[in-house]
A and B are shown apart, each in its own frame.
Chain A
């Protein structure tokens, strides 16, 4: 058996959160402060917090620059162009074909939320592909929280659109045409199912994003680990080729998962608003 480094440990260390941020170009490490507490919860920043903040800032900057360019060109009566046009195309796609198409009538109101979700997840995903980067969306806490916002949005939009009575029907569901003891029985059976159905959706969102983001990194790191295990140029060449392929796949997945998260959230909102 060859003596190699503990690849599994390296992979876990690379994909998991950490209190240390590796600075690019060998600038060393940034040890984040610890011991921040809020209401008894440890809220000390971690690597993923840093990358989340950076991603959020970049999203904001991107949208601002694009928005200003679009506004300026619009004022001058010119057609969209360049960077602004690219962002505009994505924004319009997410707004019209993801949000409004799936939420249905009144989907414009949810478009800013869906758009923010899409861009934030996309940037977080892409950060994981950069050298020295970390994938905040490869963390269950992050994806879970994002799914939680989706869950809250879905339920609140249902409550607002359907009214308290209509909303209650999405929990205590009695199939039409059943009355009396049958209705009570159906309600008793269906209510847990409905509640589970509600909870499964954000859970699925959480796991899907997390698993996709983490799995790709696992594969890439495992492939790269082969080089250190075998210590062979031949293996290195083959592995690097595979890793490049995986990276390109990851690039696709980064966009795809952001799209799917936004799409499914829209679908869930639409389902809730047009429930029964």
Chain B
């Protein structure tokens, strides 16, 4: 330690004293202050802000992007939920629609069937009536024809038999009775 102090004294006392690793040079203190303060000032103004500003802006940008991604995710989730809900309701609606259509079709079919049956019954009844009428008519016509035929036949027969002796006698007899009755 005394050696160190001696060295210090030696170094600081005389301007041109020999330098040692332990000497403290007042000029160097001055220069250190000057150099360091100039560097500090320059870097404070020109050096660090350039780096830190960019870094902070990048941090902000990344944070913003993260926030945006989170927002987008939430939005997508919401949309998905909505779509799911919409799809479900659409499905229900479609099913209801189908059910309604089926019901309507069933009803329609039933009414159509009923109408068709009615018509068919109607038709059948009319046909039956017509047939009946035709038959009556035919029977009537047949009967008339038969009468005509039998009359014709009878007249033929009568005609043929009028020449007969027996018939002559019959008529004469009949005429005789007529005379008797009078």
Contact = CB atoms under 8 A, between A and B. Distances in A.
Interface in B16-56: 16, 19-33, 35-40, 42-44, 46-48, 50-55
A70 B39 contact: no
A138 B21 CA distance: 8
A155 interface: no
B51 to A, nearest CB: 5
Contacts of A139: 21, 25, 28
B84 interface: no
Nearest to A72: B54
A142 B28 contact: yes
Nearest to B16: A34
A97 interface: no
A66 B54 CA distance: 11
Interface residues of B, number: 37
A140 interface: yes
A111 interface: yes
A22 interface: no
Interface in B104-132: none
B39 A60 contact: yes
B48 A17 contact: no
Contacts of A17: 19, 23, 25, 28
Interface string A1-41: 00000000000100111100000000000000010101001
Given A16-B19, A43-B30, A141 B51 contact: no
15 contacts: A17-B23, A17-B25, A41-B26, A41-B27, A42-B26, A46-B31, A59-B43, A60-B42, A63-B48, A70-B50, A91-B52, A115-B48, A116-B48, A139-B25, A142-B28
